[in-house]
């Protein structure tokens, strides 16, 4: 499209908008009409500025790019959830709203600077054609891959079912890259990554997202578990669940609470926009003790579920404080290829509290969103009159923080050494048969770290470096510096036995990584439950009926 045609069409559209505004002004009340008049006057001014820059600027700007800059600037001062979605970003919206996407059945991620396949869905193209977890992706459709474009790679891999995608990968033990031509299929989103028994009689369900089919998936999982044994308690794991669709969160809550219970309400800028959401079905497990696991990455729909369960005193919340997102977004289609996701309301738990932590309308001098101080947070009550606070997310009834990983474990995870070691074992064919992780495995892993020249820094090393700098700058005696040198030597000796010091943690991490690689996600998750401190505390709480009841009774 020529520039003058583009601008002429744009001006015509704005003229139509202003004319329509005049009609609406007469139909609406005075207050709304005044707002609409101011909006269209601003649109008119923006259009004139846009047209003058697009036509007159010496650099000959791209009209579409200029318009996108204007949109981005307009949204910059709002909350981070109000975003413009172009054609490239529409796939993620479709994935959540439909519960399906076109792809090859892989999950990709970054491991120590490389884009790799981190998971495969059994029964789909990628696994059937021979791709493996740990394969490094070097090209997609002839385009070289870099870690800076992981989202772009996902979009390249996804597409319409029946179409082809070409990939070049590098594999441990292979001297040359391997070429694959894969046919995309319709892939269902996996909302539930695991459903089983964490202990005799205690069902455990890990819900990872709230796409369109999550409620149905939960119903099927609970039905299957009930068919295999008596359920005496349920753990619903929402840790690291970023959320999804609000009505699906209501559907999930409905599996546990009495029919017609208020689950959540939403209110926009005007009080008359309030909408209440109730459970509309008989619960599958109305009286079974329930615990919901959450952490700092449980957000949005996860917090709706946790807040409803807590406020209705239907179960206990265990873990750490949730993210604190109490805002609701609505998606408006602008064109065939563009949409606007805009924050249109806040949501409120059954007790009436909003758990939003950050106030984007009131910012600090540095431009940061403000936080409601604890002293100003209002107190609400659950059905049993237990006190709960607004803002700052959902606070668990039982706080169970996870122990911090030591510097060695943190470095091993950051540099993907457990992942790489599993790749190494797979390249030797050692994962083709049942593989048991023993103390000997940990010793072999220690040798592997030496061969790969793995390096990390102990906290003691960092402290001694800082101490040496302070002492040198302060012109301390040589004898003092010699003592630091002696401590540094001792630290290096102790560092050589670091794997022995963290043997238990390393063995657990290796077992989960290798089991996941050789036997699938189910085996990996089952292994992790045995060592998960938050799960273990939750199991103890569900088995102790008196303590469970006490926490829900209130005053």
Whether 311 sits among the annotated catalytic residues: the reply is: yes
Looking at every residue in the chain, the average pLDDT score rounds to 88
Decide if domain 100-188 falls under CATH 2.30.42.10: yes
Whether 300 sits among the annotated catalytic residues: the reply is: yes
Of 325, 339, 351, 420, which residue is the catalytic one? 325
What does the pLDDT look like over 468-492, one tens digit per residue?
Answer: 999 999 999 999 999 999 999 999 9
Of 79, 135, 311, 397, which residue is the catalytic one? 311
- Quote the pLDDT of residue 555: 61
- Least confident among 35-49, 166-180, 362-376, 453-467: 362-376
**pLDDT > 60? residue 143:** yes
Would 100-188 and 192-401 be classified into the same CATH topology?
Answer: no
- Least confident among 21-30, 52-61, 198-207: 21-30
- Least confident among 142-146, 449-453, 481-485, 500-504: 142-146
For range 20-29, the mean pLDDT: 47
For range 441-454, the mean pLDDT: 94
- Quote the pLDDT of residue 155: 81
**pLDDT > 80? residue 22:** no
- For residue 339, name the pLDDT band (cuts at 50, 70, 90): confident
In angstroms, the Cα distances linking 241 to 207, 302, 432 are 7, 6, 32
- Quote the pLDDT of residue 369: 87
- Quote the pLDDT of residue 300: 95
For range 67-80, the mean pLDDT: 88
- For residue 280, name the pLDDT band (cuts at 50, 70, 90): very high
- Least confident among 122-126, 234-238, 277-281: 122-126
**pLDDT > 80? residue 176:** yes
In angstroms, the Cα distances linking 542 to 174, 292, 532, 536 are 50, 11, 15, 10
What does the pLDDT look like over 93-136, one tens digit per residue?
Answer: 777 777 788 899 998 888 888 899 998 888 899 999 999 999 99
Six-digit token string for 270:
């005007």
340 in Cβ contact with 84 (< 8 Å) = yes
- Helices (H) then strands (E): counts for the chain: 19, 23
Query: Would the CA dihedral through 224, 229, 233, 235 be positive or negative?
Result: negative
- Least confident among 291-305, 322-336, 386-400: 322-336
- For residue 156, name the pLDDT band (cuts at 50, 70, 90): confident
Most confident of 112-116, 444-448, 515-519: 444-448
- Quote the pLDDT of residue 2: 45
Which position has the token pair 């997609």?
140
Output DSSP code: residue 169. Answer: E
Overall residue count recorded for the chain in this entry? 555
- What is the torsion angle, in degrees rounded to the nearest 10, for the CA atoms of residue 311, residue 316, residue 320 and residue 324? -20
248 in Cβ contact with 212 (< 8 Å) = yes
- Quote the pLDDT of residue 4: 47
**pLDDT > 70? residue 203:** yes
Domain ranges of the chain: 3-76, 100-188, 192-401, 407-537
**pLDDT > 80? residue 204:** yes
Give backbone dihedrals phi and psi of 344, rounded to 5 degrees, phi first.
-115, -10
Rounded Cα distance, 404 and 108, in Å? 27
- For residue 24, name the pLDDT band (cuts at 50, 70, 90): very low
- For residue 19, name the pLDDT band (cuts at 50, 70, 90): very low
Of 300, 302, 339, 498, which residue is the catalytic one? 300
- Least confident among 42-56, 81-95, 332-346: 81-95
Rounded Cα distance, 422 and 407, in Å? 21
For range 210-234, the mean pLDDT: 95
- Quote the pLDDT of residue 338: 84
71 in Cβ contact with 334 (< 8 Å) = no
CATH for 192-401 (1.10.357.10, 3.90.226.10, 3.40.50.11540, 3.30.1490.100): 3.90.226.10
167 in Cβ contact with 159 (< 8 Å) = no
Query: Would the CA dihedral through 344, 346, 347, 350 be positive or negative?
Result: negative
Most confident of 138-142, 146-150, 295-299: 295-299
Q: Minimal CA–CA distance to 24: which of 33, 16, 14, 15?
A: 33
């Amino acid at each position: 499209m020529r520039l003058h045609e583009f601008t002429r069409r744009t001006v015509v559209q704005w003229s139509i908008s202003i004319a329509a505004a005049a009609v609406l002004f007469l139909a609406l009340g005075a207050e709304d009409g005044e707002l609409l008049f101011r909006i269209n006057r601003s649109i008119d001014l923006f259009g004139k500025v846009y047209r003058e820059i697009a036509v007159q600027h010496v650099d000959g700007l791209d009209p579409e790019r200029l318009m996108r800059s204007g949109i981005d600037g307009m949204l910059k001062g709002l909350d981070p959830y109000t975003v413009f979605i172009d054609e490239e970003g529409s796939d993620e919206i479709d994935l959540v709203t439909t519960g399906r996407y076109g792809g090859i059945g892989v999950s990709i991620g970054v491991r120590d600077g490389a884009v790799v396949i981190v998971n495969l869905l059994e029964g789909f193209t990628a696994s059937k054609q021979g791709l493996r977890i740990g394969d490094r992706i070097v090209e997609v459709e002839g385009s070289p891959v870099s870690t800076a474009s992981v989202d772009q790679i996902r979009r390249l891999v996804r597409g319409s079912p029946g179409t082809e995608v070409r990939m070049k990968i590098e594999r441990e033990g292979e001297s040359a890259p391997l070429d694959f031509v894969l046919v995309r299929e319709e892939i269902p989103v996996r909302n539930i990554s695991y459903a089983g028994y964490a202990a005799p009689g205690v069902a455990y369900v890990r819900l990872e997202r709230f796409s369109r089919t999550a409620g149905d998936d939960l119903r099927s999982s609970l039905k299957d578990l009930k068919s295999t044994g008596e359920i005496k308690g349920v753990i619903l794991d929402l840790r690291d669940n970023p959320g999804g669709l609000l009505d699906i969160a209501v559907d999930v809550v409905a599996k546990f609470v009495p029919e017609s219970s208020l689950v959540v309400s939403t209110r926009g800028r005007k009080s008359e926009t309030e909408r209440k959401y109730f459970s509309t079905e008989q619960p599958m497990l109305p009286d079974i003790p329930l615990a919901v696991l959450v952490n700092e990455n449980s957000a949005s729909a996860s917090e709706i579920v946790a807040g409803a369960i807590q406020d209705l005193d239907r179960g206990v919340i265990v873990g750490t404080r949730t993210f604190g997102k109490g805002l609701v977004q609505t998606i408006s289609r602008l064109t065939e290829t563009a949409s606007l996701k805009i924050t249109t309301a806040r949501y409120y738990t059954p007790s009436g509290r909003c758990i939003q932590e950050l106030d984007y309308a009131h910012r600090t001098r540095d431009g940061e969103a403000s936080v409601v101080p604890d002293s100003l947070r209002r107190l609400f009550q659950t059905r049993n009159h237990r006190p709960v606070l607004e803002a700052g997310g959902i606070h668990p009834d039982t706080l169970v923080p996870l122990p911090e990983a030591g510097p060695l474990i943190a470095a091993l995870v950051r540099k993907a050494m457990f992942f790489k070691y599993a790749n190494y074992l797979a390249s030797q064919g050692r994962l083709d048969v049942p593989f048991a992780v023993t103390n000997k495995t940990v010793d072999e892993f220690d040798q592997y770290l030496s061969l790969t020249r793995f390096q990390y820094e102990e906290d003691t090393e960092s402290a001694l470096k800082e101490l040496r700098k302070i002492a040198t700058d302060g012109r301390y005696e040589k004898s003092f510096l010699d003592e630091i040198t002696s401590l540094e030597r001792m630290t290096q000796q102790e560092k050589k036995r670091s794997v022995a010091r963290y043997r238990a943690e390393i063995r657990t991490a290796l077992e989960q990584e290798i089991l996941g690689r050789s036997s699938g996600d189910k085996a990996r998750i089952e292994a992790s439950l045995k060592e998960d401190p938050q799960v273990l505390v939750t199991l103890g709480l569900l088995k102790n009926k008196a303590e469970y009841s006490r926490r829900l009774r209130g005053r």
